[in-house]
Structure 1
Amino acid sequence: MDGSGVPGDAPAVDELSSAFRVYEVRTDGDKLLYIGRPAVSSDVLEREVWPLFHEYDYDVSLQQQPSRGPQLMAGNYALVAKPRSLGLNGIPWTNVVLAVLTVLSTLFVGTVWYGIDVGNDPLSLLEAWPFTAAVLGVLGTHELGHYVMSRYHRVDASLPYFIPFPSIFGTMGAVIKMRGRIPDRKALFDIGVAGPLAGLGATVVVTIIGLHLDPVRVPFELSFNHPLMLQVLSAITGQPLTYSAPNKIFNPVVFGGWLGMFITFLNLLPVGQLDGGHIVRAMFGKRTETVSAAVPAGLFGLGAYLFVARSGQAVYIWFIWGVLALGLAYAGPTDPIDDSPLDRKRFAVGLLTFLLGLACFTPIPIEVAAA
C-alpha cells in the first residue's frame, strides 16, 4: 500500500499529528511504516504514540531506517508498527518438552524422598506423583499468575518454561519470557505481584495437605529450618514439623510447600527483573535504584554474618545470590511507558506482599549431613 492510506485496524495519520508528522504510509510484510518526522522528543513521542498503537494491538518503534523495504530520504524516520500476537502460534514444543523432562526429574527425586526402589520396577517411579504434583503445582501456579496478568494487560508473554534439574528439588524453577513493553506502572505491578500471591495461595494449600499426610524416613540426615509461615500453618493445623525418630521428616508434599515459600522470598528480593524488582519499581518509580543497590550488600552481609556465626555449607547460598543480585541491579528494572504514580490500593497490596515474603524467610534454609 502506497500513499497515505491506513487500514481500518491501525491508527489514522491524524491521530499521530501532535507527536509525529506523517508524510507517507507504507507496508513491509506485516508491518506498517509511518514515514515522517517527530514533532517532540523521543521520550515524549513514545509516551504519546505507544498507548495508541497498543490499543490497536500493534507494537511500535522509532527507526532511522526500516529493517527492510524502501530506503527513506535522509533525515526521515519511520514509526514501524508490527501486529502483536498474544495467542499461541502452534504447539509450544519447547515448553512441552521442558515440562515433561521436569515431571520426570521431580518423579525421580521423589522416589528418593519416598524410599521407592525403581530398579526392579521402573513404573514405580509414578508412585512419587504427590511430590511432583506439589512442586510443579506451586511453581506452575506462580508463573501462571504472571501469565494471566500479562494477558489481562495485553502484554505479550510466553507460557512457563520449567527447568529440569535432578537436585534435592528436582527442578531449578520455572520462568516466563516477557516479549512486550509494559504500558504503565499498574500493569508492571499487577504482573509482578500476581506470581508471588498466586504461588503463595498454592503453597498454603499444598502445605496444609502435606501436613496431614504420613511422615517418611529418608536415607540421609536432613534438617529443615522452618520459616514463620510454615510454623503458623503447623500451629493452625495442629500437625508437627519435627519427629523424634532418626531420619524421620514430614511428608515430601510439605517440602513442595516449603520450596514455594523459599522461592517466593527469593523472587521478592527488590532488585532488577525479579518480581520484587517489578513491584518496587511500580511503587516507587526510579527511586528504586537506591533500594536495588542495597540488596547485594545486604545479602553479602547476611552470608558473612552466618559464616562467622554458623559456619557451614548452607550459608553460601547468600553469597551466590549476592552475586546474582549485583548482576540484576546492574541490568536495572523494567521501565513502563507511562510512569504515572501507582494508586494507594496497589501500594498497600505491595507492602502486604513484601510482609508475606518476609514470613517465608529463614536464614539457613537447609542443613544436610551424611548419615
Structure 2
Amino acid sequence: MESVDSAEAPPVEALQSVFHLYETRRDGDRVFYYGESLVPERMLVREVWPAFRRAGYEVEVTSTASGNEDVVVARPVSDGIDGVPWKNVGLLFATIVSTMFVGALTWYYIPFSDIVANPLVVLRAWPFTAAILGVLATHELGHYLVGRYHGVDISLPYLIPFVFPFGTLGAIIQMRGQMPDRKALFDIGVAGPLAGLVATVVVTAVGLSLPPMTIPQWAVQGSGEVIVFNNPPLLDIIATLLGRPTEYADPSVTVHPVIIGGWVGMFFTVLNLLPVGQLDGGHIVRAMVGEAQERVAAVVPLALFGLAGYLHYVLDYSINESVGLWAFWGLLSTVIAFKGPADPVDESPIGPTRMVLGVVTFALGALCFLLVPIEVMTI
C-alpha cells in the first residue's frame, strides 16, 4: 500500500463536509481514505456515494484495526464480465449432467443398469434438463440484466448441481456492489420472479401439449409407495385453459416430464418470494416498506413452523409429506433473516406503480403456493 496525493485520488472533494481526512493510500485499484467521520456511517455513504459513483467507484466505510481511525474504501465498479467465468461454466456443465442423469433415472424410467452400460442414454432426458434449467436460468438472468441496467455489480448465475428429485438445488447470483436506491432494489428483486414465471408458464404449456408417458411395467410393479408432486393452482389454471389433463385414470400413464420444469419454477417462486433476507421477497418488501421489512421477516419463520405443526398435528401428515419441508425452510429463513436484505443508499420511496407491481408479484406467487406440495401415496 502506497501513499498518494489526495488531489490525485477519486473525488476527494466529496468527503470535505463529512470526513476529516488525514491520509490517502492506494492498494492496487483500491483507494483508502484515513481520517475521522463527522457524521454517522450511513449518512457518510449517502453523501459521498453519488460523486464516487460518477467517477466509477463504489465506497464503503470501515475502521482501522485499532479503531482509532475511520477508513473510506473506494474500489472501481465492475463494468461487466472479466474473462471467461469458469466457475459459472463449470457449474452449468455439472448441472446439465446431474439433471440429465436424474431425469433419465427418475422421470424417464431408464434403468440404472442401462445407464451404466451406455451413459449416452441419459441424452433422452434433454427435454427435462432444458425445462428445468430454462426456468432457473431465466429467473436469474432477469436479476442479472436488470442489475446491470442499474449499474449494480452483480454476478452471472451460479447453477447448483444436486441429486434426486430434480438434479439441482436451483441457482443463485451475487450482488457485490452497493444498491443505489430502493427503486433499483425493487427492480432487481422483482425481475427474477416475473421473468421466471413467464418461463414457467411457457414450459408448463409445452409440457402439457406433449404426449403423456407410459411408465414401464417393472416400475409400476416394483413400487409400493410413490412421491406425488401436487399441482399448484397456477398449473391447474394453465391446464384448464389448454384443455389438457394433468393426471390419468391408468396408473401406468403419466404426464410428460417437461411439466416438472414448470412445477419446479412455481415451487422455487414461492420459496424465493419469502420476504426475508437476501431472497427476492426480502428485497421487494425492503424496497416497498423500508426498514419495516425486518418486522415482516421476523414473522416468516414462525409462519413456516406453524405450517409444519398444522400439517403434522392437525392434518396428520408425516415428516416426509411437506412437514419436514416447511420445518426446514422455517429454520433456513431464520438464518437468512439475520443477514437482512441489501440496504440502498437512497431511501426515497419507490412510487405507486412499483408498489402495485409488488402486490401483483406476490399475488402471482400465491398462485404457486401449496400447503402440501409433496406427499407420499401407496399404489
> 225, 231, 234: which is aligned to 2:230?
225
**Amino acid paired to 1:98:** L
Is the 1:62–1:78 Cα contact (8 Å) retained in structure 2?
yes
1:297 to 293, 302, 305: 302
Residue 89 (structure 1) shift: 2.3
Is the contact between residue 4 and residue 23 of structure 1 (CA under 8 Å) also seen in structure 2? no
Alignment of 1:174-185 (within 5 A): 174-185=171-182
Task: Indicate how the Cα distance of structure 1 residues 14 and 331 shifts in structure 2: closer, same or farther if over 3 A, else same.
Answer: closer
Distance in 1 (CA, whole Å) between partners of 2:214 and 2:316 is 27
Deviation at 1:52, TM superposition (A): 2.1
CA shift for structure 1 position 34 = 3.6
Q: Distance in 1 between matches of 2:285 and 2:6?
A: 43
Give the equivalent residue in structure 2 for 1:103: 96
Distance 1:40 1:333 in 2: 24
Alignment of structure 1 residues 202-217 onto 2, 5 Å: 202-217=199-214
Query: Among residues 84, 109, 112, which one is paired with 1:115 in the alignment?
Result: 109
1:272 equivalent in alignment to 2:271? no
**Residues 259-285 of structure 1, C-alpha deviations (whole Å, 9 max, x = no match):** 100000111011121110111111011
> Which position in structure 1 is the counterpart of 2:87?
94
Aligned partner of 1:168 in structure 2 is 165
From 67, 71, 80, the equivalent of 2:73 is: 80
Structure 2: unaligned runs, 5 residues or longer? none
Query: Aligned-pair distance for 1:156?
Result: 1.2
Structure 1 residues 296-305 or 130-139, which shifts more?
296-305
SS at match of 2:8: coil
Following the alignment from structure 2 to structure 1, what is the Cα–Cα distance between the partners of residues 372 and 98?
25
Cα deviation, residue 357, structure 1: 0.3
CA distance in 2, matches of 1:352, 1:370: 38
Counterpart secondary structure, 2:298: helix
How far off its partner does 1:40 sit?
2.6
Q: Secondary structure of 1:337's partner? A: strand
- What TM-score does the superposition give when structure 1 sets the normalisation length? 0.91
| AA aligned opposite 2:174 | K
Kindly provide the amino acid, as one letter, of the partner of residue 182 in structure 1.
M
CA distance in structure 2 between the aligned counterparts of 1:204 and 1:318, rounded to whole angstroms: 25
1:37 and 1:298 mapped to 2: Cα distance?
44
Tell me, in whole angstroms, the C-alpha distance in 1 between the residues paired with 2:330 and 2:26: 48
Match of 2:8? 6
Identical positions, percent:
52
1:1-371 matched pairs, under 5 angstroms: 2-6=4-8, 10-11=10-11, 13-22=12-21, 25-65=24-64, 77-112=70-105, 113-116=107-110, 117-218=114-215, 219=219, 220=223, 221-307=226-312, 308-312=314-318, 313-315=320-322, 316-369=324-377
Q: Is the 8 A contact 1:5 1:25 kept in 2?
A: no
Displacement of 1:100 after TM fit? 0.8
Alpha-carbon deviation of 1:110?
1.4
Residues 31/306 of structure 1: CA separation in 2 closer, same or farther (3 Å cut): same
Q: Distance in 1 between matches of 2:252 and 2:88?
A: 37
Q: Deviations over 1:50-78 (max 9, x none)?
A: 2321222212223444x9xxxx9x96544
CA distance in 2, matches of 1:275, 1:303: 23
List per-residue Cα deviations over 1:250-304 (Å, max 9, x = no partner).
1100110011000001110111211101111110111112211111111111111
Counterpart CA distance in 2 for 1:224 and 1:15 is: 57
Partner of 1:105, secondary structure, is helix
* SS across alignment from 2:7: coil
CA displacement 1:290-345 (0-9 Å, x = unmatched) = 21111111111111111131422212211111111111223323221222222111
Aligned residues: 362
| Paired letter, 2:242 | T
The SS at the match of 1:223 is strand
d(CA) in 2 for partners of 1:64, 1:257: 48
Q: Distance in 1 between matches of 2:13 and 2:292?
A: 37
Structure 2 distance, partners of 1:265, 1:247, is: 30
Q: What letter matches 2:253 in structure 1?
A: K
Q: How far off is 1:148 after superposition?
A: 1.1
C-alpha distance in structure 1 between counterparts of 2:187 and 2:90, whole Å = 29
RMSD of the TM alignment (CA)?
Answer: 2.1
Gapped runs of 5+ residues in structure 1?
none
Displacement of 1:370 in angstroms is 6.5
Q: Which moved more, 1:177-186 or 1:129-138?
A: 177-186
Deviation, structure 1 residue 119: 4.0
d(CA) in 1 for partners of 2:168 and 2:291? 34
C-alpha deviation, 1:98, in angstroms: 1.2
Alignment check: 8 A CA contact 1:143 1:174 kept: yes
Report the Cα offset of residue 104 of structure 1: 0.6
